[in-house]
Structure 1
């Protein structure tokens, strides 16, 4: 039976994001309703081009705008989208299947939000209730970080892309705006009410966003997170694990490692296998130079992550995977954990391979590859098994390729390159190896084209000498001058970021 589904959007000055969203919704929904709350750009014109039903509403908070959109919708189901979302075709088909089979007494549906960071990698996965039945009992509440007034929702493994993490200036602006609104709401709410504690959680979250850019906000995170934890009620227990994450991260920034470990243990008493806490446990033990326990925690995080990615709800137990730990994981697997394994006296490459034989996880396999690369150890037998098992994963193939190159395994390297060309023809490493080969043959024009593409994708400063070599041999003096200026500006930016982090660390001392 065909479902009647309305898409609802609230927007203000979203001309940059809206075309991407509407293009992804086109032809899928029975109607697209857009409530504009005061745009002064081309938002309304763009909505008209896509055939949206457009309504105007004076801004009175997020819940008010969403409820107004619902009042104009005729669908049996209502699916809410933010302007910086995108719905892929495969996820739409999955959603139709699940919505057709949801029990009639379920009023709201939880979906997964795949947050996209600056470098277009996943910045974490969160969960939110953006789909609900068109039922007068269902209402949105809250001026900011609005929620549905339903007691429970039904989780389905459907992903929507969210691009809101791409602009750090926007994130800071939103956080400052939210803090102002939340402080106002907290003054008006009964301190014993559920809504008071929910808003207190979002205040902690907003300060946590700001603290990632400016260390002066870290103490505010600790202050309000501690207040929230001391006042946890059964009605707001859903949020407590997330507050622990923000608190532990803040304590680590302040180099209060013993306190951070204490909070890790408290959190694990509430939710044993919550991914973020396991990861933070590893970071804390690493700071305390307890390398055996650090490796133990990181391995647990990696194996749980492999399970989680196969089924996002398998470990949730009512909680969602909300932070940026997945974004951090490849860096830790390549740079931090192998070094920690080397410093440990209880773990070695053989133990990691034995664990993989039992689990067959992708991230665990990548860790073995990067650790073997760090130790210059031969794992060619394992590598062939790993590549064959994950031959459709660009991520797994990329790490395997780097190891094969490092160890000089020409046949395996060529095999992986051919596979990558099929599954991910735009993979940055393909440009690197193609450009490197062309340079060795003196084909400077081809080499420059491929190597500059690799550099644009990765910002790998190690490739700069090879690019300059191409430009010098091609006698492209003007292009060389421009390239050197670009590199100079980039290194200044990186230095400024590094200096700011150093200054923040000194300020905390």
Structure 2
């Protein structure tokens, strides 16, 4: 029977790592945690649950994940972030597929936001390709948008069940991460040489809110649907504002 290596990317994830690893036990034949500089109990908790730990310096999302995939013992990789876990239905689906495992598999991701499961706002079904043969797929990308690249034409099979994503624990947590990731996104846009016009800066945020809250029915998720839609609009605004700030700064330096 084919064997699976679960590869988890982690840093300071003591609040999530146990749930992630326990959801993989009995499904994965190896659990490898790629730790990129934790200073909390992440490493100790992972080792106590029987996971192997590979400690490396942070090298970006794609490269850090690829390092873990290369160090794994088996070719079939199940790739998770530490704040994710397999649902019982997804566990059963992977186990049922395991005897004939091969190629690429995707499954839907369901996000928990401040204790509530979010099924609208454009956040669900959020399909993710996370089970694959490392000989035919590899992570690529810089800064924020890493994606799994594979030869065009290969079949991607859909498995039932959800990948559970325990994302934001509070509104402050969401806003803090928006500030961090908007820095990375702005840097990527600047390095690509893309121009953000004043019109785009003004119009994109309200359009984002309209899409999330109205078109994607964020209102059906209640108060947190409103919060997600509003913060998503702010996210668009602040990353574009940071791009313009960065470009202006570069001109001033020149």
Q: What SS class does the counterpart of residue 170 from structure 1 fall into? A: helix
C-alpha RMSD over aligned residues? 3.2
1:114, distance to aligned residue in structure 2 (A): 1.1
Query: Could you say which residue in structure 2 is the equivalent of 1:327?
Result: 221
Query: Could you say which residue in structure 1 is the equivalent of 2:173?
Result: 170
Q: Unmatched 5+ residue regions in structure 2?
A: 228-254
Please give the per-residue CA displacement for 1:346-378, whole angstroms capped at 9, x wherever unaligned: xxxxxxxxxxxxxxxxxxxxxxxxxxxxxxxxx
1:220, distance to aligned residue in structure 2 (A): 4.2
User: Out of 145, 163, 187, which is 2:190 matched to?
Assistant: 187
Q: How does 1:64-213 map to 2 (within 5 A)?
A: 64-98=63-97, 100=99, 106=103, 108-124=104-120, 125=124, 126-135=126-135, 137-150=137-150, 151=152, 153-189=156-192, 191=194
More helix by share: 1
Q: Unmatched 5+ residue regions in structure 1?
A: 201-218, 226-243, 253-275, 281-323, 332-496, 498-509
Q: How does 1:442-453 map to 2 (within 5 A)?
A: none
Please give the per-residue CA displacement for 1:194-218, whole angstroms capped at 9, x wherever unaligned: xx9xxx9xxxxxxxxxxxxxxxxxx
Decide which structure has the larger Cα Rg and report it: 1
Aligned CA distance change for structure 1 residues 5 and 41 (closer, same or farther; 3 Å):
same
Aligned CA distance change for structure 1 residues 249 and 89 (closer, same or farther; 3 Å):
closer
Q: Distance in 2 between matches of 1:131 and 1:75?
A: 12
TM-score, length basis structure 2: 0.72
1:54, distance to aligned residue in structure 2 (A): 0.8
1:101, distance to aligned residue in structure 2 (A): 5.1
Q: How does 1:82-481 map to 2 (within 5 A)?
A: 82-98=81-97, 100=99, 106=103, 108-124=104-120, 125=124, 126-135=126-135, 137-150=137-150, 151=152, 153-189=156-192, 191=194, 220=201, 222-223=203-204, 246=208, 248-249=210-211, 277=215, 324=218, 327-328=221-222
Q: Conserved in 2, the CA contact under 8 Å of 1:123 and 1:165?
A: no
More strand by share: 2
Q: Conserved in 2, the CA contact under 8 Å of 1:78 and 1:131?
A: yes
1:190, distance to aligned residue in structure 2 (A): 5.6
Q: What SS class does the counterpart of residue 176 from structure 2 fall into? A: helix
2:6 matches 1:7: yes
Q: How does 1:476-487 map to 2 (within 5 A)?
A: none
Q: Distance in 2 between matches of 1:326 and 1:123?
A: 8
1:141, distance to aligned residue in structure 2 (A): 2.5
Q: Conserved in 2, the CA contact under 8 Å of 1:141 and 1:149?
A: no
Q: How many matched pairs?
A: 215
Q: Distance in 2 between matches of 1:99 and 1:34?
A: 22
1:82, distance to aligned residue in structure 2 (A): 1.2
